[in-house]
Amino acid sequence: MTTIKGPAIFLAQFMGHEAPFNHLEGLCQWAASLGYVGIQIPTWEARLIDLQTAAGSKTYCDDLKGRIAQYGLQISELSTHLQGQLVAVHPAYDELFDAFAPLELRGNPKARTDWAIQQLRYAAKASQNLGLDVHATFSGALLWPFMYPWPQRPQGMADTGFAELAKRWLPLLNAFDEAGVDLCYEIHPGEDLHDGVTFERFVAATGEHPRVSILFDPSHFVLQQLDYLQFIDIYHEFIRMFHVKDAEYLPNGRTGVYGGYLDWVERAGRFRSPGDGQVNFKGIFSKLTQYDYDGWAVMEWECCLKSPEQGAREGAEFIRRHIIEATQKNFDDFAGGHTNEALNRRVLGLS
């Protein structure tokens, strides 16, 4: 078994306009001071990485790693969550998701999608140049507006949607394959890949492409009332990334899973800082260790009550406490003996 790496922190929610949150060096110094040893970098944030340059220059990537290493940190993974979302957007969300694209592309869905696809191609090469073998993204969604089965969906519509989704992602999956990088889709409400069944449909639609992998974030399973521990049992061979994010589900007589269009604080299902919600992280770290997960434990802050600064301060120690130093021996080895086939046969009455 392998010991999980960490703690690392996803920097997306911590970016700001004031020091130390407005540039790479400041964030690195801050993260290291809190006890983190890895950072997950959002590639849409130009203050952290020039993605196009990273795709074309190993020298740039070596320099970037060196700047980060000065603080005792390393890059855990790159993320293209926002760009991945734009690979597939239902027209109902066009205007809302335009905010994820450059200003000059807004109002032009085709140009926006072409840009997103190129961003993913850059991310594949950048990950390779940085020596990374996994990458985080979203699948995007063509079917999400039809998640609830009313009005009745036309026969075969879901098959058509997943076929189109796979068609858009297959060239990118091939690009990541050429770079030697697994593409880890975060299983997330709002994406067409939002649970185990939809993940399986996508895997099948891609012809079981070997680079299709999972970013496991249990908070999204709590909000869907999905068994996240059993999910690990079923899909552990696909899980290559892990976000440590907590959540709680507190249904009442007025609202439940769908949330009633309430703000986050008032919703039955809401995100919390690690340790403040209902996620059984001891169980998760145990199962991931059992299944030989060799990736990072990455703290992601999305809490409706606690400040990001406090969440980050507490997050490193929370992860460190939960990482299991994987054993390299069986607890009863002391009572055993060396392999002896003749003895085995005698004990079984076969000699």
Q: What is the pLDDT of residues 131-166, one digit of tens each?
A: 999 999 999 999 999 999 999 999 999 999 999 999
Q: What does the pLDDT read at residue 351?
A: 72
Question: Containing domain of residue 246, as a range?
Answer: 5-347
pLDDT tier at 337, thresholds 50, 70, 90: low
Alpha helices by DSSP H, listed for the chain, are: 24-33, 51-56, 58-69, 81-85, 94-97, 109-129, 157-179, 196-205, 219-224, 228-235, 281-290, 308-322, 341-347
Mean pLDDT calculated for residue range 301-310: 97
Q: Residues 104-114: pLDDT tens digits?
A: 999 999 999 99
pLDDT tier at 262, thresholds 50, 70, 90: very high
**214 half-sphere exposure, CB direction, 13 A CA radius:** 25
Taking the model in full, what pTM does it have?
0.96
pLDDT tier at 339, thresholds 50, 70, 90: confident
Percent of the chain past pLDDT 90, that is, above it, reads 93
Structure tokens at 282: 């001891």
Q: Residues 6-40: pLDDT tens digits?
A: 999 999 999 999 999 999 999 999 999 999 999 99
Q: Residues 195-211: pLDDT tens digits?
A: 999 999 999 999 999 99
CATH number of the structural domain spanning residue 248: 3.20.20.150
Burial class (CB within 10 angstroms; exposed 0-12, middle 13-18, buried 19+) of 286: middle
pLDDT tier at 329, thresholds 50, 70, 90: confident
Q: What does the pLDDT read at residue 335?
A: 65
Q: Residues 270-300: pLDDT tens digits?
A: 999 999 999 999 999 999 999 999 999 999 9
Q: State the total domains in the chain.
A: 1
Q: What does the pLDDT read at residue 343?
A: 87
Eight-class DSSP state of 4: P
- Low-confidence winner among 21-25, 245-249, 262-266, 328-332 (lowest mean pLDDT): 328-332
Query: CA-CA distance, 192 to 199, in Å (whole number)?
Result: 8
Query: CA-CA distance, 136 to 162, in Å (whole number)?
Result: 20
Q: What does the pLDDT read at residue 110?
A: 97
Q: What does the pLDDT read at residue 330?
A: 76
Q: What are phi and psi of 112, to 5 degrees?
A: -65, -45
pLDDT tier at 334, thresholds 50, 70, 90: low
- Mean pLDDT across the chain, nearest whole number? 96
SS (H, E, C) 300-316: CCCCCCCCHHHHHHHHH
pLDDT tier at 327, thresholds 50, 70, 90: confident
